[in-house]
Structure 1
Amino acid sequence: MTQDSVVQRLLVRVKKEESHINQFSPSIYMAPRTLRDMSPSSFNPQVVSIGPLHREDENVQAFEGRKTNYLIDLMRRAKSPQEEILKLCVEKVCTSMEKIKACYVWTKAYGDIEIADMMIMDACFILEFLFKYSIDEEEEGELQHIIIFYDLILLENQIPFFILDEIFQCTVLEFSPNHSLLELIYPVLGNANIFTEDINKDNISLNNTHHILSLLHQCYKPPDSIKKGDLRSTIPSVVNLDRAGVNFKPNKDPTWLMGMEVELYMFPCFFGSWSKPTLRIPVLEIYDFTEIVLRNLIAYEQSGQTHSYVTSYAIAMDMLVDTQEDVAKLVDLGVLVNKMGSNDEAANMINSICKGTILVDFFYEEQWVKLSKYCDAYWPKNMANMKRTYFSSPWNIIALVAGVILFVVTVVQTIFTIKST
């Protein structure tokens, strides 16, 4: 092999890739290894495989055959002949084949016929499953419903949104023209909400949507007015902030679902005035699937195709929570709902969720600067130290009280001794 032949071969490969790079970039891929290894089950579908990446997983094979039933049920709803509808679906998929291929980082080679069959079958399953759910026809058990909902938001378990939309137009709109694709998907998004406040569907823009997980990610998007910066300030954990005099309250009706706000109240004192901050936090619900939602949103952000506001939130929570005592404090104050087995389990989840991530922008820098300045001030710092030293346990309190009593007794004895002499 000559040098010229090597050069020509590389040029052919580069030109082939350039033809795709300028138009599309992969949006469906395996989660980064550093994130996946920490919790493989958070990225693997439990019931149904969507797209090519988990198609051969053993645990989803039982459901593969049932997809055909969903496709048949969807076709039966249409007024046009089934053959005509399927022909139109195939035409749409085949026309977009190169665009579909460019959406994936492939783990196995599939032929165009296999890909077309996969896209149509999976899109029809999603649409029929969600349509049945919307009109209360779905007969699956409630638990399986919930698991399928979570399978539909996994990063590695997606089909391109434009294909789902085109199949929707060929099928559902044919027999139900008043339905919209977003309306069908809303129950999936609502089910994956990890906060007590409703998710914000107004942020959704179909022009920027890669897949269903991308839609969910847009629901957590902050307004453009939210400032972001570098992570330069660190703050103590919840327990230590509480000792320094920081209050914690739920963030009701926030401008951003994951928004945290610091409110400073000025109190007059002997030395002039003293500010006492309140940190308002969105009420997070920690349950069995919270970790799945957060890990998949964070893995999607780590691709660099979108802003890392969920990663930013996870890092902020990791700073606030060090131990189960921090979780217990947040639960007592009503700013966290823990439906897991223990506070220690919840703390471990929060502490591990953002390990291995890269943070470009931190969306809480303004709030963290305020808290850091407050905690570094003389009185809050010494108040925290005193509470940590003397009030951290019942034995410390008893020792302090005993010491005070001993001191008082000693002073009284000294006074009486001086008077009697």
Structure 2
Amino acid sequence: MFVSGIYEEEKEPILKEDKLLKKLHFPPIFVIPSWLRDISPNSFTPRVVSIGPLHREHTHLKSMEKKKDKYMRKLLVERDTYNDCFKTVRNKIEAIKSCYSGMKEEIYNNDDKLVEMIVTDTCFILRFIYKLAKSGDIPSEKRIRRRSIALDLVLLENQIPFFVLQDIYDIIFKKKSTVTTPDLKTMLCGLLQQVNPFKKELNVENLSSVTSSPFHIVGLLHEFYQPGYKLSKISYIPKAHTAVKLHEVGVRFKPNQMLKWPMAMEFESSPLNPTIKMPEVVIDNHFEVVMRNLVVYEQCSPVESYVTSYVKAMNMLAATPKDIATLVESDVLTSHLGPNETASNIRNICKDVTFLDFYYMDVWEKAKKHYDSYWSRNLGVLKRKYFDTPWKAIALFVGFIGFISLVAGFTFRKP
């Protein structure tokens, strides 16, 4: 059979490792349930480029289709890998189909069309991350477009199975290339850094403890946010105190410079300076998109709910614009939105989400204990009333010295 300029060869047996996907009780790439999608449809819809079959027919994405085909042919012809890539994908087409839920029948039943689509989209991703790894300082308009494409590539409905990315990467950059290139996860790390909302950069070395292969790029991003060790969790949500309420009883917030995992929070108990240390995070128009796709991935996949737990914790701390202002002043949060919009942005991610686990119980219990303490409350009022600015502290000190001098004058005055 003639397919996309090549002749179909005899199918090879599917490799043993690819059968893993067939044993799954869920498809890792799926249409988002309406009760989650309807809250924020734009968080799941690609803006620039469609990847895979689920958004293929969107009119506003059509302009990229010809470019993707051009990129695919240029990449494969230059490296003489055209036939190898199509053959590899065709031999695994059934495993690829099992990864998707929600494909239209005309795509699902047309192997030729699906093979060409998968190869084209995979080549687009590989060429994009390869050029991203090589690029230096580029014009600002290209940086904006680059980040928009990167954001599209972490949408849950806009994915290619990871084993396909790995297979075609191996063919193009390892088997046929004479130039040494970074491994696939290292190149994808550069892509994911474009949309990483935390100020601490992603480090591919942190993935060394993760033995399983991700289902797709979203799954790889989720692996970057895993702690790499077992965290204690609890299945109920403790009573929340907002950043403002905690600040009123003397609790301060500081950036966590010694992160044990990317979303770690710690409570440092101190009679005078109790502190919650947190990862530095940037809230912008992309924050909700990235977090929401990771949360839905956790809601619908057999993975730990680290991101959902973090979003819940932030929702409790940053419930109002005043809380946002407190966290911004503490340098743990940078907002490119207005305080009202930032608070709404964080709060909406939690809407209609089921919370199964909470990984910050130790921090929350210590914060609650401090908040409920009689001395903490009164010391907090004292510090807020008399020591919240240097001038108030100086005035109190001068007044105290004046009072002592006055008492001393009365004491030592001769009768």
Q: TM-score under structure 2 normalisation?
A: 0.80
Alpha carbons of structure 1 residues 52 and 262: separation in structure 2 relative to 1, 3 Å:
same
Q: Deviation at 1:323? A: 0.8
> Residues of 2 paired with 1:24 and 1:168: CA distance?
27
Matching residue of 1:160: 161
Q: Deviation at 1:141? A: 2.5
Q: Deviations over 1:33-85 (max 9, x none)?
A: 2221111111111110000110111110111111111012202431x3xxxx2
Consecutive unaligned residues in structure 1, runs of 5 or more: 1-18, 268-275, 392-421
Residue 291 of structure 2 corresponds to residue 294 of structure 1: yes
Asked if structure 2 preserves the Cα contact closer than 8 Å seen for 1:189 and 1:216, the reply is yes
Residue 125 of structure 2 corresponds to residue 120 of structure 1: no
Alpha carbons of structure 1 residues 24 and 127: separation in structure 2 relative to 1, 3 Å:
farther
Q: Deviation at 1:103? A: 0.6
> Residues of 2 paired with 1:248 and 1:129: CA distance?
39
Q: Deviations over 1:208-250 (max 9, x none)?
A: 2111111111111113143222234212111011111111111
Alpha carbons of structure 1 residues 250 and 136: separation in structure 2 relative to 1, 3 Å:
closer
Q: What code does the residue aligned with 2:133 have? A: S
* 1:397-412 → structure 2 map (5 Å cutoff): none
Deviates more, 1:315-324 or 1:228-237: 228-237
Residue 90 of structure 2 corresponds to residue 94 of structure 1: yes
Matching residue of 2:346: 350
Residue 234 of structure 2 corresponds to residue 234 of structure 1: no
> Residues of 2 paired with 1:386 and 1:350: CA distance?
32
Q: Deviation at 1:184? A: 2.2
Asked if structure 1 preserves the Cα contact closer than 8 Å seen for 2:263 and 2:279, the reply is yes
> Residues of 2 paired with 1:98 and 1:56: CA distance?
22
> Residues of 2 paired with 1:72 and 1:356: CA distance?
44
Matching residue of 2:320: 323
Asked if structure 1 preserves the Cα contact closer than 8 Å seen for 2:29 and 2:99, the reply is yes
Deviates more, 1:130-139 or 1:176-185: 130-139
Matching residue of 2:260: 255
Matching residue of 2:370: 374
Asked if structure 2 preserves the Cα contact closer than 8 Å seen for 1:70 and 1:129, the reply is no
Asked if structure 1 preserves the Cα contact closer than 8 Å seen for 2:189 and 2:202, the reply is no
Alpha carbons of structure 1 residues 265 and 380: separation in structure 2 relative to 1, 3 Å:
closer
Alpha carbons of structure 1 residues 355 and 120: separation in structure 2 relative to 1, 3 Å:
same
Residue 53 of structure 2 corresponds to residue 52 of structure 1: yes
Deviates more, 1:231-240 or 1:289-298: 231-240
SS in 1 for 2:36: helix
Q: What code does the residue aligned with 1:236 have? A: H
Structure showing greater Rg: 1
> Residues of 2 paired with 1:108 and 1:386: CA distance?
65
Q: Deviations over 1:135-181 (max 9, x none)?
A: 33999832211111111111110010101111112222212552221
* 1:34-183 → structure 2 map (5 Å cutoff): 34-78=35-79, 80=80, 85-109=81-105, 110=107, 111-136=110-135, 141-173=142-174, 174-176=176-178, 178-179=180-181, 180-183=183-186
Deviates more, 1:350-359 or 1:373-382: 373-382
Matching residue of 2:278: 281
> Residues of 1 paired with 2:168 and 2:52: CA distance?
15
Q: What code does the residue aligned with 1:304 have? A: S
Alpha carbons of structure 1 residues 92 and 21: separation in structure 2 relative to 1, 3 Å:
closer
Q: TM-score under structure 1 normalisation?
A: 0.79
Alpha carbons of structure 1 residues 176 and 132: separation in structure 2 relative to 1, 3 Å:
farther
- From 311, 326, 332, give the equivalent of 2:308: 311
SS in 1 for 2:276: strand
Q: Deviation at 1:21? A: 5.8
SS in 1 for 2:262: coil
SS in 2 for 1:207: coil
Q: Deviation at 1:384? A: 6.9
Q: Deviations over 1:374-406 (max 9, x none)?
A: 212223356678999x99xxxxxxxxxxxxxxx
SS in 1 for 2:313: helix
Runs of 4+ in 1 over 3 A off after TM superposition: 136-140, 379-388
- From 204, 208, 214, give the equivalent of 2:213: 208
Matching residue of 2:190: 187
C-alpha RMSD of matched pairs (Å): 2.5
Asked if structure 2 preserves the Cα contact closer than 8 Å seen for 1:233 and 1:372, the reply is no
